Structure 1
Amino acid sequence: MLKRNNIVYIIDGLGMGGAERLMIPVLKYLDRGMFYPRVCVLQDKDGNPIADELRQLGVQVDFLPVSYLREFSAVPRIRSYLQNVNANLVHTQLEFGNILGGIAAKSLGLPCVSTVHTIPSLEKRRKMKLHNMLELFILRVLFDVTIAVSEETRNYYVKFGRLNSTKVKTIYNGIDLSQFIESQKKEKRGIIRAELQIPSSARLIITVAVLRELKGIQYMLRAFPALLKKHPNTYYLIVGDGMYRETLVGEVEKLGLQRNVIFVGRRMDIPQLLSASDVFVLPTLTEALPTVLAEAMAAKLPVVACAVGGIPEMITEGVNGKLIPSKDPQALTDACEKLLDNPEQTTAMGEAGWQIVEEKFNITTQVNNLKELYLSLLSS
């Protein structure tokens, strides 16, 4: 009988960010005959809503409270925890999961993997803080493998982070396509639109993101008045929450867009919301590999996104969407207009997007790649 290895995932928190949400499909499809996963959470983020989803999958979630993420006195507690649960391999995510988890795991001689989900903007690189430099140092020195979620991310960590190129491996994030097949039924679209009081004949543009300044939603809001002049029966749905929400609401009021812009906050029914929409927009200023784009493509939506980070690895201009410069409201207006003017093209782009997700960004491929990596580290 094969030994079942204990894989411990250490993460800052289980809020609604991309890295956190990605744990759901990974742990749902990870081979439980070979691996026993458990998650160690260091802080409370918005009540850690993802924890409940993971528990429903039968995953043990342990809360190891760290009062602040620079609390290096937590390392001995994490070390004791790893010993108590008989960890065989540690997989860390996010900045202080990487720092504190990496130190604790390596002090026990455990194989250690990290996934890096972000590419810092040029401004952030110029203002890099001590803890950012410490994270890069720990990734460089302590980790057996660092998983980059895109080739652009890998290039950043090899070039700017000076990680050994042989220890940085690109594994694209994958999504669970089954939930999108169900959500595409026409009656589901009607139910969502009725709930949001959006007419069935209206065109609906959607953005799903944590509401931060770097997500660039303010530029889409500035693009929207010009778009409404040509397509007055258009609505813009903003899904997500965050510290920047009040600023965005103020921008909507200043531009007089209250009738056509809808904030719905944090939602768990993302596939249904996407399938009720017509165009997905991600006006982000920096991104590694946004999983939400794969979700939009799985919902057969054409995508308008900024050509930053790993996005051009997902979106091909004119094939499954449109690539535009960042911080450019006029480019957003023009791209959305072209899609709304050409419904046949949007349908073709949606179908192309589905094919790309099925080939490159599905959860089966990601989990198989992780399985191979884990087994190679456990056997060495």
Structure 2
Amino acid sequence: MKLLQALFFPPEQPGGVSSMIPYLQERFTPPRWEMDLFSIPKRVRMKGSGEVAFQTFDWKEYASSPIVQKYVQTYLDYVWWTKLRIDKSYDVIHSHHPIVGMAMKDVFPDVPVIQTVHSSYERELILNGRIQENGLEHRFLVSLYRELEQRTDRLLTVSHSFRNYLAPYVDRPQDITVIPNGYDEKRFKPVAHENEVAQLVTVCRLVPAKGLDILLRACAELKQKGLPFVLHLIGDGPSRTELENMAQSLGIYEETIFYGYTLHPEEFMPFFDIFVLPSRAEAFGSVFAEAALCCLALVGSEVGGIPEQIENGVNGLLVPPEDPASLALALEQLINDPDYRYTLARAASERAKSKYSLNRAVHELKKMYLEVKPG
């Protein structure tokens, strides 16, 4: 079977897609399986042209928005790039971005297209202050879910929570399949270590949706209580300067290290003690599974797919979103009790190995590819 994994961003970009898709190829081996990866380079802009017509709504109702215009142009660019670069046929195409799924169905109308929706783009844009809730852009983006349901052959997502999120925007939510991301255990090598001062770490884009302002306020409370810690922020994004200024104003700049973007954070994540990310929205939260496989204690907010990974008090700690005081108390508990911290970390690692292994994901995907393949 000839398979195409169709991405939007190149696979080295951070995020849930990059945590799994590039590692699938070695599990889909010839002669029975052949797999290619495809994405659009950043340099390809304003190349596509022509009329765009969706089957389930008229996008021109939202055309006064520059963001919607850019989205539609990017869709045309992806169609143009696909026609230019792909000169072979495939039995099944698996898309990992709404633009990609629609473009692939345009170019290859007779090939089954499976669409995985990895995150709520519109929700993140709202939280990051880019668009207004119920504005033109929001209504356009949620309309795409029904369009994807209509045009693709199978709709997938990465958590039961996110399937519930999609339910109001599609006609058959019961048909959405949930397949969480899988992770290659060989990439994660826990390291036995004893840090005299607790090392806190998070890995994410530096944007408001990740709740890092809540984390900094919680750490300021830790410092006021005299608890020693170091906070490592791995990632980059538009909020970096604001967060650096906030760390200074809260008096925790000396305890906080801003790394910027790092390609393979899993290589040194095992040397930390606690992974913490108080997101405001998270379809799944791949980085929690990655941190668990590094044998770190987990602290996350009770939103989206995070509670599907963390059972509070069993393999990590959950806190309410937007609550620095509760987050500070959870971190204090783990800082003061290394034995409890290790117990949670070990339980998180075992759960991640059993529920989020790459072998499990590969098995489920192979079964689905065989189901949708013509003939």
Q: TM-score range by the shorter chain?
A: 0.7 to 0.9
Residue type matched to 1:35 in 2? W
Q: CA deviation at 1:163?
A: 4.1
Q: Structure 1 residues 129 and 121 mapped into 2: Cα distance closer, same or farther (>3 Å)? A: closer
Partner of 1:364: 359
1:139 aligned to which of 148, 172, 177:
148
Q: CA deviation at 1:88?
A: 2.2
Residue type matched to 1:94 in 2? H
Q: Which moved more, 1:71-80 or 1:312-321?
A: 71-80
Q: Summarize the alignment of residues 155-174 of structure 1 with structure 2, pairs less than 5 Å apart.
A: 155-157=164-166, 159-174=167-182
Secondary structure of 1:129's partner?
helix
Preserved CA contact (<8 Å) 1:115 1:147: yes
Give, in whole Å, the separation in 1 of the partners of 2:320 and 2:254: 28
Query: TM-score when scaled to structure 1?
Result: 0.83
Cα RMSD, aligned residues only: 2.4
1:185 aligned to which of 179, 185, 191:
191
Residue type matched to 1:70 in 2? V
Say if 2:303 is the partner of 1:314.
Answer: no
Gaps of 5+ in 2: 48-69, 127-131
Preserved CA contact (<8 Å) 2:91 2:112: yes
Q: CA deviation at 1:31?
A: 3.7
Gaps of 5+ in 1: 45-62, 191-199
Give, in whole Å, the separation in 2 of the partners of 1:29 and 1:246: 41
Equivalenced residue count is 343
Say if 2:23 is the partner of 1:22.
Answer: no
Preserved CA contact (<8 Å) 2:227 2:332: no
Partner of 1:10: 7
Secondary structure of 2:89's partner?
coil
Secondary structure of 1:146's partner?
strand
Give, in whole Å, the separation in 2 of the partners of 1:151 and 1:287: 12
Preserved CA contact (<8 Å) 2:275 2:298: yes
Partner of 1:221: 216
Q: CA deviation at 1:143?
A: 1.0
Q: Deviations over 1:218-249 (max 9, x none)?
A: 11001112112345431000001111111111
Secondary structure of 2:230's partner?
strand
Preserved CA contact (<8 Å) 1:174 1:365: yes
Give, in whole Å, the separation in 2 of the partners of 1:213 and 1:347: 30
Say if 2:90 is the partner of 1:87.
Answer: yes
Secondary structure of 1:109's partner?
coil
Give, in whole Å, the separation in 2 of the partners of 1:377 and 1:369: 13
Q: CA deviation at 1:76?
A: 5.1
Q: Structure 1 residues 7 and 256 mapped into 2: Cα distance closer, same or farther (>3 Å)? A: same
Q: Structure 1 residues 304 and 79 mapped into 2: Cα distance closer, same or farther (>3 Å)? A: closer
Q: Summarize the alignment of residues 1-80 of structure 1 with structure 2, pairs less than 5 Å apart.
A: 4-14=1-11, 15-44=13-42, 69-71=71-73, 72-74=75-77, 77=80, 80=83
Partner of 1:57: none
